[in-house]
Structure 1
């Protein structure tokens, strides 16, 4: 199962973590894993390119783990863009979870 944890402070995303494997299909055909990976890495890449922000990114060497910490020292425009892009990511992950709840959980702390 994929576990998504979103960390917030004052209703703002400060970090998020994805861990585990969906195991919803054979290796290379796991649509839930592919969807979660595309959404999460797409959002990270969008923030890196569009906001020109350095994120603190930690990945597992075998896959199945991603931790991203957001910087707290940003101008308001960059912070708003970054928050919007990551909120969009969370909405997309929730959409996946609504159809495949046996393979993905999302919690906020």
Structure 2
């Protein structure tokens, strides 16, 4: 199972996201769930780094992606659009393949 962790600040901005594990929906190289999740998360990272040119803390390994944002970057409207769209996409995959992906959201106004 792939676990996605989303952390928000008190203003409800996404300040970090991480994905770990393997979906094991299909054979290595043919796992459409893993490929979809990876594509969505990596596209979000590319949007932040290549399109918006933000310098963010990223750690990528096999079965692991972690992205940490500073609070000033997290408040940017374009950043919000990219990250909230990422989350919508991940939740869409979760609706169809709930046994292969778990999304955990933390933080926010009550943090």
CA distance in structure 2 between the aligned counterparts of 1:97 and 1:75, rounded to whole angstroms: 24
2:64 matches 1:65:
yes
* Post-superposition offset of 1:73: 3.2
CA distance in structure 1 between the aligned counterparts of 2:74 and 2:3, rounded to whole angstroms: 31
Name the Cα RMSD after superposition: 1.4
- 2:56 and 2:67 in contact (8 A); partners too: yes
4+ residue runs of structure 1 moved beyond 4 angstroms? Answer: none
Q: TM-score, normalised by structure 2?
A: 0.89
- 2:44 and 2:82 in contact (8 A); partners too: yes
After superposition, what is the alpha-carbon deviation per residue over 1:63-93, rounded to whole angstroms, capped at 9, x for unaligned? 11111001223496xx111111011000000
CA distance in structure 1 between the aligned counterparts of 2:40 and 2:74, rounded to whole angstroms: 25
CA distance in structure 1 between the aligned counterparts of 2:56 and 2:101, rounded to whole angstroms: 24
Taking the TM superposition and a 5 Å limit, the aligned residue runs for 1:67-86 are 67-74=66-73, 79-86=76-83
Q: Of the two structures, which has the highest relative contact order with CA contacts closer than 8 Å and spacing of 6 or more?
A: 2
- Residue correspondences, number: 105
Taking the TM superposition and a 5 Å limit, the aligned residue runs for 1:1-109 are 1-9=1-9, 10-60=11-61, 63-74=62-73, 79-109=76-106
Q: TM-score, normalised by structure 1?
A: 0.91
Q: 1:66 to 1:26 in 2, by over 3 A?
A: same
- Extract unaligned runs of 5+ from structure 1: none
CA distance in structure 2 between the aligned counterparts of 1:3 and 1:87, rounded to whole angstroms: 17
